Amino acid sequence: MLRFIIIGITDNPTPWFPPEVMEIIKSGKVFSGGKRHHEIVAPLLPEGAEWIDITAPLDAVFEQYISLTSHLSPLTSNIIVFASGDPLFFGFANTIRRKMPEAEIVVYPTFNSLQMLAHKLVMPYHNMRIVSLTGRPWPEFDRALIERAKKIGVLTDKEHTPAAIAQRMQEYGYTNYTMYVGEHLGNPAKEKVTTLTLEEAAKTEFAMPNCLILNSCNSCNSCSKKQSQFGIPDNEFALLNGREKMITKMPIRLLTLQALDLPRRRVFWDIGLCTGSVSIEARLQFPHLHIEAFEIRPECEAIIHENARRFGAPGINVHIGDFLTTPLPVGEGQEERLPDAVFIGGHGGKLKEIMAKVLIALADDGCIVMNSVKAPLVKTDSHQLWDEACKELCLQQEPPLHIQLNDHHPITILKCRR
């Protein structure tokens, strides 16, 4: 069994370690870390030390670990890893636990970069929401914004820079934050801390490595308005050709989300999203969701994005094209991307075919919901199509919910499962 000793370091070019850690380094045989870490600790390594760079692909790195230690005795089969800050804080210790769960791990941490930035600012950080964008996509950051986290600590990378983060926040209207950026924290010669507005940050380049803290000033009226809304008024949406009938009305929208049981769902698909009202409402009310939205009409794309920006709903993945010919956004081995809640907002008379394709990806505990409108001029009864599709595809229906908002056409909310 391999034993990893993981030592946290900062960017200080002349690091200091306690005597216990220095003894571990002096007696070590195999060392590992990033190239930057190697430059810092190289003068401290014993003669004849083996070094393994931690670079992608990580599977190759772990193969080297096993290969180099296979000929060592149990007493010397330690791999000493240098990692930034606290190795358990979005760090390499977590990677080892995931890839080699049986390995023994000993950790000697130091302050992580966000702690060091808070220390420099003399800013309490016990209430800070932490988000890592280092090699990760936007969803958790978007969720922190939608949930109005007052203080957000962000780990960055070359793609998710402070400027890119500020631009995203401006695009979706989250402008009530001050940004604090720390560069080369721990390196006395290069360390720099800057306080900026989002407008300033969006135009500024920062040296890597860096991290940032966002602190809400709570004075933005538009953000306060978004936060207080439970159900977006229909007249606030940008519409397709100004057609009010092309939007799921707010009371029906909220009942539809309730039928989808979104608080306990993970992945939501919205098929035939048109103006995006259902997806946007779902994103704002349940920001933990991963949302994939499909629309056949290309003229809707600009409207959807306009509404997402208008209501501060980043992170909705929009697919323009016929759902029946659009590749499903689920790959092999990506069970966590399988939809467990699907809303069919439009079907163009091809409901059976759409439901059959949904079933290819639908999670075992997933559900499908559709709203059927009883209109006298419509030749094809969508409720009848639904019943036929459910019977043919062996889907179990739940009792329908009948709603009539006004003197016009009644609506039935339909739901089924495998």
* Residue-level pLDDT, tens digit, the chain, 418 residues: 789 999 999 999 999 999 999 999 999 999 999 999 999 999 999 999 999 999 989 999 999 988 876 666 655 578 999 999 999 999 999 999 999 999 999 999 999 999 999 999 999 999 999 999 999 999 999 999 999 999 999 999 999 999 999 999 999 999 999 999 999 999 999 999 999 999 999 999 999 999 999 999 865 555 545 555 789 999 999 987 766 666 888 999 999 999 999 999 999 999 999 899 999 999 999 999 999 999 999 999 999 999 999 999 999 999 999 999 999 998 666 777 899 999 999 898 899 999 999 999 999 999 999 999 876 555 567 899 999 999 999 999 999 999 887 766 789 999 999 9
Looking from the CA of 238 toward its CB, the CA atoms found within 13 Å total: 14
- List 131's β-bridge partners, or say none: 154
Q: What is the rounded CA–CA span in Å between residue 62 and residue 318?
A: 37
- pTM check: above 0.85: yes
pLDDT at 352: 96
Identity (one letter) of the amino acid at 387? Answer: D
- List 332's β-bridge partners, or say none: none
Sign of the dihedral defined by the CA atoms of residues 344, 349, 353, 356, in that order: positive
Report the relative pairing of strands 401-403 and 411-417 from DSSP bridges. Answer: antiparallel
Angle at 396 (CA atoms; ends 393, 398), nearest 5 degrees: 140
User: 279, 270 in Cβ contact below 8 A?
Assistant: yes
Q: What is the rounded CA–CA span in Å between residue 280 and residue 314?
A: 9
User: 211, 114 in Cβ contact below 8 A?
Assistant: yes
Phi and psi for 278 in degrees, rounded to 5?
Answer: -70, -45
| C-alpha dist (Å) from residue 264 to 17, 259, 366, 418 | 46, 12, 11, 17
pLDDT at 77: 72
Token look-up 């390196």 returns 187
Report the relative pairing of strands 129-132 and 104-108 from DSSP bridges. Answer: unpaired
- 193: enclosing H helix or E strand: strand 192-197
User: 62, 32 in Cβ contact below 8 A?
Assistant: no
Helices (H) and strands (E) in the chain, counts: 14, 18
